[in-house]
Structure 1
Amino acid sequence: MTREKRVYNSIIEAIGNTPLIRLNRIAQDIPCPVYAKVEYFNPGHSTKDRMALKMIEDAERDGRLKPGGTIIECTSGNTGMGLALAAAVKGYKLICTMNDKQSKEKMDILRAMGAEVYVCPTNVAPDHPDSYYSVARRLNQEIPNSFFPNQYDNLSNRQAHYETTGPEIWEQTEGRITHFVVGVGTGGTISGVARYLKEKNPNIQIWGADTYGSVFKKYHETGIFDENEIYSYITEGIGEDILPANVDFSLIDRFEKVTDKDGALIARELAKKEGLFLGYSAGSAFGVVRQLKHLLKPTDFVVVLFHDHGSRYVGKIYNDDWMRERGFLPQNNKVAKDFVDKHSRLPLLHIGVGEPVSNAIRLMRKHSISQLPVTRDGQFVGSLDERTLFNAVIEDPTAVNKLAGELMKEPFPIVEATTPVEEFKHYFTADVGAVLVRLGGNDYHIITRNDLIALLG
């Protein structure tokens, strides 16, 4: 089938009409067909292009946004990108406020598109003066001829999806859709699509992906806004610590929470199995399908919407180091060298057997370390750790003047660079807090308990 040749007057005319793509390998254990509405085919690489344009054009029509004005919005990045496209075409200035948990790629892209970016702390209440909501409102009050779209409460958001995304899905599935699954942040996508689909067929099930640390699922099920549900999470683009006006809970049949880890791993799995390079929330959205597959029948037809493109997460979920630091990747096949790579360029700190204990204490304080090898003539003959020194000095304050050799314990065990972690982790006990790694010749480095926990935790 050939694609229709299209010619546009500007980039914003290319928004919408994104493809529906069947998921194959990753959905083999799902009992019914699963199709993805892949929104990164929008020119701004996300579904937010739709509502960003709608908010601007509605504001132009009713006079809230005037020629030469400044658009100010709080965004996780994708709405900002949609606004940036429209602002560039229409000649507006754009200011975006963002949480510091958002990827650097998103911030850099917005700056490249001409936006001014304010980075705000994540771990503050929504009404805190430093929150990205509050900073946007303050700038709106301070800057003349400015417009604050407020994607959370601006109902043009969900109307955009009622007018475009919903009809596209209905037509592409020829009305066969039985379940629509999508991540919920501002609520515009799920509510707009749900309203359209349920008008066509009220039996269509609407499932929302939520994350741990967000209030949506409990509020939907109980009507209680529980502040105890709120805590910091890593997943981007879904979940909230507020109740946006765009979320129409009456149209949503079920919320399902997906962990930060599962969302990240499934996004990577989608890339490897389907060739779809997607954003973080896509993993969470398919995670809902996977977790609720027991509710699906062979006659069902599932559409899951994937919000955005993976290019905005290259430094995060597609970066192995970032994933390992958060314990998201399995640590199989680790060897001793893996635990010292980050500091192998630095010299190994040690203390001579004839040096005073005060030198060891000074080194530990200066470099924020808790243990040291003790050497004699270039050989490792003992070890000191902060607990040993603490006990000695508490019992006898003059112990700081003793020699290292008088207080040292047994030397740290030595392993080769290629020794698997399974073969040396048993060396760590209540009394032994480190091992030494021989990298070659006289080049040694240390693995501490903290190093082990950081890479294996």
Structure 2
Amino acid sequence: MPSSLDLKLVDEVIVVSDKDAFLTARKLAREEGIFAGGSSGAAVFAAKQVAERLGPDRTIVVILPDTGRNYLNRIYSDEWMIENGYLESEEEQIPVRDIISAKPRRVHSLMAARPEDRLYEALAVMQENGISQLPVVEGGVQVGSIRELTIMNKLARHEASLGQKVREVLDDPLPSVNVKDSILNPFTLLKDKNAAVVVDNGRVVDIITSTDVINYFVKEKLPGQKVMA
């Protein structure tokens, strides 16, 4: 708490949830043309509660302490609000198992590299299966990933060699999702890495990609249609 705050002057403290604050800020922008942030939303939400108690013949002054400029990718992003449970989505939730079931038979087994594999071995797996990245798994747990683009750049700059161990050129781990989960928006999960590992009881059991999600939609919406893998 700032030292300038004198609690003796405070008559009441109203607790406002993040959800109420964010939704009120969005309502201010939509209905009043006021582009404010989450703190402003909280202030207005609290003021409305006080107004309901005081009645229509009283005037309430509310200070809006922030702008919405810094919240474009959060409060004012439907995608972010849905992902974090602040907005309900009309989209269907897709069971991860259904996405896995829609995968072509030839890619139903888990493809992954081990930290001690040589880089050329991992690249061979990627080339044979037409994939651009692999999770790196040790003892059933993902410890990182390797990406075709990253490896290409390192080879071009002589920062890596094909004989190196995979653990020496690790990239960040792929996103993970539990096999029992349902995904509200799978393309949001996959947008950065284009792939995610599927975990069951803490162990990596499969991997899903954007192509797998497309296969799922095609099979659901166009049953009987063949999808090129």
Using structure 1 for the length normalisation, give the TM-score: 0.25
Using structure 2 for the length normalisation, give the TM-score: 0.47
Larger RCO: 1 or 2 (CA < 8 Å, sep 6+):
2
